[in-house]
Amino acid sequence: MGVEAKIAPSMLSSDFANLASEAQRMLDCGADWLHMDIMDGHFVPNLTIGAPVIESLRKHTKAYLDCHLMVTNPLDYVEPLGKAGASGFTFHVEVSRDNWGELVQRIKSKGMRPGVSLKPGTPIEEVYPLVEGEYPVEMVLVMTVEPGFGGQKFMPETMDKVRALRKKYPSLDIEVDGGLGPSTIDMAASAGANCIVAGSSVFGAPDSAQVISLMRKRVEEVQKNY
């Protein structure tokens, strides 16, 4: 048996004015994690939520809050997000080339799970030292669209990176994010991804539970053969 399937609806596609009930709805539909996209309007040309929203949501749920930091200075977010009750803290390698060791240590010291993400144009080799180093990350998030916005088209060429990672690290959590849904899950699952972020395909479906269950099934079918 390989790694566990984790289906993480991206709350970016939810109705932010009803975040707590939208989160509960996703959990009731079978979500494992809630994916929280934190953007600073600088690393990406969009601005979303920050620690105060995570803190508010935490008062309503015990769920694993999988925070994806699309920010230029992730170090500045460690303390506030730790206090707010974030569970996972995934930073981008493109802005952390000089300080990822310190970043990972600080994330862990605040009780969060460290992860690293990379944009479609960033070579996979860049994250190997972070998986193998003295202060290893526990998840790699391979972006399958350019970060910044929900509802974009899945980029199949990013699957080479997922395949390379899975071959090298059979028990690593590998997350994919962007354009995932019933029509793209097979590519991601067969490449070896086990943590699936999906926003528009889940929130936009008439039956969100069915989409979540289909994606879980595909990941489990592949992972049971590892």
**CA 148/CA 144 separation, integer angstroms:** 12
Provide the CA 160 distance to its chain's centre, in angstroms: 18
**CA 186/CA 183 separation, integer angstroms:** 7
- Assess whether 177 carries a catalytic annotation: yes
Whole-number minimum distance, CB 105 to ligand 5SP, in Å?
25
**CA 193/CA 189 separation, integer angstroms:** 5
179 binds, among ligand 5SP, Fe ion, none (CB under 5 to 8 A by kind): ligand 5SP
User: Binding marks (x or -) toward ligand 5SP, 63..102, rule CB under 6 A?
Assistant: -----x-x--------------------------------
Does position 178 interact with ligand 5SP (CB under 6 A)? The reply is yes
Count of helix runs (H) and strand runs (E) in the chain: 9, 8
- Phi, psi dihedrals of residue 126, rounded to the nearest 5°: -65, -25
Neighbours of 82 (CB within 10 A): 18
What is the number of the residue whose Cβ is closest to ligand 5SP? 199
Residues numbered 110-169 forming contacts with ligand 5SP, rule: CB under 6 A: 145, 147-152
Whole-number minimum distance, CB 225 to Fe ion, in Å?
28
Whole-number minimum distance, CB 1 to Fe ion, in Å?
27
Residues numbered 50-69 forming contacts with Fe ion, rule: CB under 5 A: 68
Choose which of 200, 210, 213, 214 interacts with ligand 5SP (CB under 6 A): 200
Helix (H) or strand (E) segment spanning residue 34: strand 33-39
CB 152 within 8 A of CB 146: yes
What is the number of the residue whose Cβ is closest to Fe ion? 68
Choose which of 22, 32, 66, 177 interacts with Fe ion (CB under 5 A): 177
What is the spatial order of strands in the sheet that 173-177 belongs to? 6-9, 195-198, 173-177, 139-143, 113-118, 88-92, 64-70, 33-39
Residue type, 19: L
Which residue among the candidates 37, 40, 66, 173 is catalytic per the annotation? 37
158 binds, among Fe ion, ligand 5SP, none (CB under 5 to 8 A by kind): none
Indicate which residues carry an active-site annotation: 37, 177
Q: Which residues bind Fe ion (CB under 5 A)?
A: 37, 68, 177
Q: Which residues bind ligand 5SP (CB under 6 A)?
A: 10, 12-13, 35, 37, 68, 70, 145, 147-152, 177-180, 197-201
